[in-house]
Chain A
């Protein structure tokens, strides 16, 4: 094992073990108690629903590892569905896919260039979020359009109950995890995430790393939109809005530190699965859908508290709730 994965890679995987366990337990329990959960159609719809968020969250995770954030992914997802459902070229869908890829990379690169030039990531991606959303609405002002038949066939292909797009998305997350943890680019990414100034001082290619990170986020978001069409069969200029925040939630659930430089992209898999399970189970139980938001919000807070407890110690109002590994006294300014 030690020759295969680096020490930091292993160290970053360790904190994700609890979320894997919780998620797997949740699946087992759901499987045991819920008859509708066991059906093939449900499994298929659960996995199909996960595919877009897996892709978008993988990109978001890369950006968050640099200590940044990408708010524009939601708009990029929408734009991608709109492009996919437009009548273009010979109708085979090749041109649609090519345009989706190009749009994602271009928007992401623009974000990266802005951030590398010193614009705050929140501000930069907030701006592109608006611009891209407007663009998508200009192309298609209401849900509709027709998806090229051959393309749709590919997007909805499945092996039994397991959709092809789910498998591909899963593969993409694994590749992205290797890219961020087992390559030179990855080490630089973590270094930048810990301290951009430090990385610059160490003569690392800080700007290039940032640009590539945001470009990947843009690309993965647009591919997420493409995959999403396999579930909704049409373009929708507003469908992606929820993805911005959902992808951040999934990344944080997966144990990636919001300040950057810590965590493993692989943690996104249980993170996304847990979110999908909440939706799926509450739907099956016939609970009013607004409760899904409340449940997900509460899960996020509990999960982050547990991650904190694993690293330092969990304290609320000076009362220690959980003992930490090493006590880090807060040596802040005694004012």
Chain B
């Protein structure tokens, strides 16, 4: 059983967690919900022993946590982090047994026993993978399952799952679900964070909602439904997650960006047009080449064959810089690793792509910068304490908004290419991002939206290309598309 009483934590001016008291009985699953920035991450970091609370007390089965990772782990806390924490330079088995590798008589690793242990842990998740495979070779979903196997290798008293399903497919989610059930049967308490509402209702026994650091509501699942949950999280009613599609945007004419028979990097014969004013979606299950399409369209990768046309002109995109010169900006899927400069301020992050425009003579003028940046920040609805705040301290949704803001400042953009822009972003920030995208297209920009979130594409895109095994298997109109029709194409069951 896990209990915390009156726990608070403040970072500078931000009250991250305010007086949270909570109890999770043994064998129960608590879904901890809240928008990004609501304090969930800080709260879980306290359980993990990575953050020491200013006030209050956390206890697992009566053992009061002292605020170090080793102490929390010793007390029986196991964590599956949102940012995966496996070591890619070690194998699956070595990662699972790390820190308690079985040894032989002279102190060297006992590989046989080690493999047996690793395999047992993987079996508990029902994941069949060779423990000798280096983690570096695994995909995101496989890593996630290994991470889970590692966390439950020793039956923990409290298991924390921080968005454990963000890169899993349906079948893998079921694996995880069954593994968690086995644990709860053995008496493990589980705290579970997810942004997928359907999962929350499927997985959990209790639901608790945090908002701006405080616990605003908690209770058994039966007391909740999706509407109440969303309203409680956001603190206001979201009338509409997706902005209305614009008037039928003009088709035909010259496309802002056109891929014609593009082949390379595992995708074949990709042909699509992104017209000004339209949001063109690319859908597909994880690993069917849709990310590669985004990279090919933005100069991150060079195609082996085919033509790219920008505003009707044949263009060779050598690198992202060249693409930007042609008016194509790219928002990569992994904002923490590949998009933002985390230690730098909001201002600096926003200004990076527009340095030359803001400071044509090469000398930085803070006034000029403010005049350009402030309206953009306004437009983004950023939640921040100062524009000099480090981006690392912002929540995921706000980080994503900063990344967009960079391109709002850059100017002269024809096409914005986004790859999974709302992964791990909460409902409220999502709605704002969607509205922003629609505003951009209304201003005449074209958007190529690659996403693994089918509902997002259904709600937002004017046209959806569906990929299967590196090829576009069909194209559906955004307004008429259904989950079923996309799924049929994405799983290679039908051709449009």
**What residues of chain A have their CB less than 8 Å away from a CB belonging to chain B?**
2-8, 11, 178, 182-184, 186-188, 190-191, 193-195, 198-205, 261-262, 318, 327, 329-335
Contact = CB atoms under 8 A, between A and B. Distances in A.
Given A6-B91, A329-B295, 12 more contacts: A2-B111, A3-B112, A182-B108, A183-B103, A184-B101, A187-B90, A199-B87, A201-B85, A203-B99, A261-B89, A334-B300, A335-B320
Contacts of A3: 111-112
A5 B132 CA distance: 11
Contacts of B301: 329
A67 to B, nearest CB: 11
A194 B353 CA distance: 31
Contact of A195 (B87, B101, B114, B324): B87
Contacts of A261: 87, 89
Nearest to A331: B338
Contact of A333 (B81, B99, B338): B338
A330 B81 CA distance: 25
B329 interface: yes
Contacts of B134: 7-8, 11
B134 to A, nearest CB: 6
Nearest to B330: A334
B341 A202 contact: no
Interface in B318-340: 318-321, 323-324, 329-330, 332, 334, 337-340
A183 B98 CA distance: 10
B320 A184 contact: no
A201 B160 CA distance: 14
B98 A334 contact: no
Nearest to B339: A333
A198 B87 contact: yes
Contacts of B107: 183
Nearest to B417: A334
A318 B302 CA distance: 11
Interface residues of B, number: 54
Nearest to B419: A331
A332 to B, nearest CB: 7
Nearest to B319: A318
Interface string B292-323: 00010011110000000000000000111101
A178 B48 CA distance: 33
A198 B74 CA distance: 17
B317 to A, nearest CB: 11
Contact of A191 (B50, B93, B98, B133): B98
Contacts of A7: 91, 93-94, 132-134
Contacts of B94: 6-8, 187
A274 to B, nearest CB: 25
B73 interface: yes
Contact of A204 (B89, B98, B320): B98
B89 A331 contact: no
Nearest to B328: A334
Contacts of B91: 6-8, 11
Nearest to B93: A7
A178 B104 CA distance: 13
Interface centre among B81, B87, B134, B334 (most CB of A within 10 A): B87
B89 A193 contact: yes
A7 B339 CA distance: 34
A3 B341 CA distance: 44
A204 B74 CA distance: 11
B177 to A, nearest CB: 25
A200 B301 CA distance: 35
Contact of B81 (A6, A201, A332): A201
A191 B133 CA distance: 16
Interface in B119-137: 132-134
B479 interface: no
B398 to A, nearest CB: 18
A134 to B, nearest CB: 36
Interface string B171-182: 000000000000
Contacts of B73: 203
Given A332-B320, A334-B324, A190 B108 contact: no
9 contacts: A6-B111, A178-B108, A191-B89, A194-B88, A318-B319, A331-B300, A334-B321, A334-B329, A334-B353
B109 interface: yes
Q: Which 5 A-B pairs have the closest CB atoms?
A: A334-B320, A7-B132, A203-B73, A203-B69, A331-B338
B300 A330 contact: yes
Given A184-B109, A318-B318, A318-B319, A333 B352 contact: yes
Contacts of B70: 203, 205
B454 to A, nearest CB: 24
A4 B89 CA distance: 19
Nearest to B91: A7
A334 B323 CA distance: 9
B212 interface: no
B48 A188 contact: no
B424 to A, nearest CB: 18
Interface centre among A3, A182, A333 (most CB of B within 10 A): A333
A121 to B, nearest CB: 19
Contacts of B90: 8, 187, 190-191, 194
A204 B295 contact: no
Contacts of B352: 333, 335
Given A8-B90, A178-B108, A333-B352, A202 B99 contact: yes
B36 interface: no
Nearest to A7: B132
